[in-house]
Amino acid sequence: MILRSILLAAIAAVALAFAAAAPAYPPITCGQISVSGKRLVVRTHGPNCGFAERWVKEFIAHHTKPKGFTCRSYGKYVPADCKASKNRYFLANPAS
């Protein structure tokens, strides 16, 4: 019984340590791109800027997505939002 309690406490401590180690930084703003005559700001959290910019253009123009990502469009305010596992994503918003 005591061994089980110690084991559960150890598992809880390890789970808490991994939750605290999750990246807690905001997405990086890559800059502006132009797609179909519209200026967009690309932001990324995980993939590098070149990857994010290239796939934002591909998704908006052809609705293709990179392997391992799920992409959606939320109208004119978020024309491209692509997510993968482990908090990796990139998106595009209209430039103001």
Per-residue pLDDT at 82 exceeds 90: yes
C-alpha of 36 from chain center: 23
Strand 28-35, strand 38-45: pairing: antiparallel
In one letter, which amino acid is 17? Answer: A
Gap between the Cα atoms of 12 and 4, Å rounded? 12
Per-residue pLDDT at 61 exceeds 60: yes
Cβ pair 84, 68 in contact under 8 A: yes
- pLDDT confidence of residue 36: 84
Gap between the Cα atoms of 18 and 68, Å rounded? 23
For the chain, how many residues are written? Answer: 96
Q: Which residue has the higher pLDDT, 70 or 23?
A: 70
pTM for this entry:
0.71
